[in-house]
Amino acid sequence: MLFWVVVVALGILEALIVVTALRMRTTRGLQRGIVGSRPMEVLWTLLPALLLAAMVYLSFQTYQDNVDAASDDSASSSVYGYARMDRGNAA
């Protein structure tokens, strides 16, 4: 589920990048200075940082859950048997 949320978010961001690039293009011979919008610059800086922080947090939570589940004594199991390795002999 999270994968598809990320795919949709990246698709929207890619579309916004393309729209912005098309709107900010200049015609040949015309020198037009692009004046930045401070709120947009802050948004485009903070949004990836916040998404990265969320991914790190969720990854760490998943890691901790896996470590806790692996160290839980009630979840232990025993495996009995042996491995047989044929050295190229077809039986």
Model pLDDT, residue 72 = 65
Report whether pLDDT(27) > 60: yes
Whether residue 34 contacts residue 24, with contact meaning beta carbons closer than 8 Å, is answered with yes
Q: Is residue 59 part of a domain?
A: yes
Q: Is residue 53 part of a domain?
A: yes
Q: Is residue 58 part of a domain?
A: yes
Q: Is residue 30 part of a domain?
A: no
Encoded tokens for 73: 């004594």
More confident of the two residues 83 and 43: 43
Model pLDDT, residue 32 = 53
Q: Is residue 55 part of a domain?
A: yes
Residue 50 belongs to what domain range?
37-69
Structural domains of the chain, count: 1
Q: Is residue 81 part of a domain?
A: no
Report whether pLDDT(3) > 60: yes
pTM of the model: 0.41
Whole-number Å distance between alpha carbons of 42 and 47: 8
Average pLDDT value for the chain: 76
Choose among 48, 53, 37, 46: nearest CA to 10: 48
Q: Is residue 13 part of a domain?
A: no
Helix (H) or strand (E) holding 34: none
The pLDDT-based confidence of 12 (bands split at 50, 70, 90) is very high
